[in-house]
């Protein structure tokens, strides 16, 4: 859902826990707006009654694997090629989803209210103090929620799965939760990063895989090799579901 300008990305970190920047002030503001009257109106009317049916009607061709989603807390890891990824996931998934969102969305008149009223987690990519984002993501999981991460950290510029970051594995091991791989097909073709307006093409498919248990890796959150191995395993499943190729990476 983010559009990265630096090598760290806004969803995950390749080296350490400390790359999910978000100020405590903006975090409190986001959570507060989600629980206001305006937040209720946005989520229950704008999203559920207007935006979601529109996306399902004009863009989403099909969804599989919803029956395999865990009842409790978990992480969704998906490939990322379009802004429609976020909208399609929200429109077609029965659970409330919380994403890590780049700071650029909060400077947009269109996207800022969407991010704030839906309770997404703001990531200040230029900040060196990233502990607040990790804390916010873990709080979502510890309260039984669903945290969504695009391991590529930015939209694909050519439709292929690019280099990935290991934040998804870090969150899974820290919170001891399963990861549900999600393969998204057609979103890049409907709205690639270089396009100014989405094409009205009902071609998007969401394919959820079975939950992945990563407990065999222990809590290894400071071990880069363990995080990379776990991430490669997750992305191999994501690529399979998305009908794309993923080449496992090394640290």
Q: What is the pLDDT of residues 188-244, one digit of tens each?
A: 999 999 998 888 899 999 999 999 999 999 987 789 999 999 999 999 999 999 999
CB 168 within 8 A of CB 19: no
| pLDDT at 95 (0 to 100) | 94
| Lateral strand order in the sheet of 97-102 | 60-64, 204-208, 179-185, 74-78, 146-149, 97-102, 121-123
Q: Checking phi first, is residue 119 left (phi over 0); if not, alpha (psi -120 to 50) or beta?
A: left
| pLDDT at 101 (0 to 100) | 82
| pLDDT at 1 (0 to 100) | 57
Mean of pLDDT values over 161-182: 95
Q: At residue 4, does pLDDT exceed 80? A: no
Mean of pLDDT values over 6-15: 38
Mean of pLDDT values over 88-96: 95
Residue 99: DSSP 8-state: E
Q: 216: burial class by Cβ within 10 Å (0-12, 13-18, 19+)? A: exposed
Full-model pTM = 0.84
Measured CA to CA, the distance from residue 172 to residue 177 in angstroms comes to 5
Band of the pLDDT at 11, cuts 50, 70, 90?
A: very low
Q: Supply the mean pLDDT for the chain.
A: 86
| pLDDT at 32 (0 to 100) | 52
What's the token pair of residue 217? 């890796």
The CATH number of 24-242 is 3.40.1130.10
Measured CA to CA, the distance from residue 180 to residue 213 in angstroms comes to 9
What's the token pair of residue 155? 């939209």
| pLDDT at 34 (0 to 100) | 78
CB 9 within 8 A of CB 150: no
What's the token pair of residue 86? 């976020």
What's the token pair of residue 41? 């109106």
Band of the pLDDT at 33, cuts 50, 70, 90?
A: confident
| pLDDT at 154 (0 to 100) | 87
Q: At residue 5, does pLDDT exceed 80? A: no
């Amino acid at each position: 859902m983010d559009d990265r300008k630096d090598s760290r990305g806004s969803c995950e970190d390749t080296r350490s826990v400390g790359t999910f920047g978000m100020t405590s002030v903006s975090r409190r503001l986001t959570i507060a707006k989600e629980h206001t009257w305006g937040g209720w109106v946005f989520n229950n009317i704008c999203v559920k009654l207007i935006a979601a049916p529109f996306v399902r009607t004009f863009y989403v061709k099909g969804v599989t694997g919803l029956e395999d989603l865990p009842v409790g807390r978990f992480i969704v890891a998906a490939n990322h090629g379009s802004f429609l990824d976020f909208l399609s996931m929200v429109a077609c998934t029965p659970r409330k989803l919380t994403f890590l969102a780049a700071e650029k969305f909060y400077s947009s008149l269109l996207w800022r209210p969407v991010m704030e009223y839906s309770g997404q987690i703001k990531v200040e990519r230029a900040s060196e103090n990233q502990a607040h984002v990790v804390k916010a993501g873990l709080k979502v999981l510890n309260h039984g929620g669903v945290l969504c991460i695009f391991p590529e950290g930015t939209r694909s510029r050519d439709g292929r799965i690019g280099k990935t970051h290991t934040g998804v594995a870090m969150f899974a091991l820290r919170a001891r939760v399963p990861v549900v791989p999600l393969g998204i097909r057609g979103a890049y073709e409907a709205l690639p990063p270089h396009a100014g307006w989405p094409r009205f093409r009902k071609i998007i498919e969401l394919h959820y895989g079975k939950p992945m248990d990563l407990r065999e890796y222990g809590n290894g959150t400071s071990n880069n090799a363990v995080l990379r191995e776990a991430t490669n395993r997750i992305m191999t499943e994501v690529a399979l579901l998305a009908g794309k190729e993923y080449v496992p990476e090394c640290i």
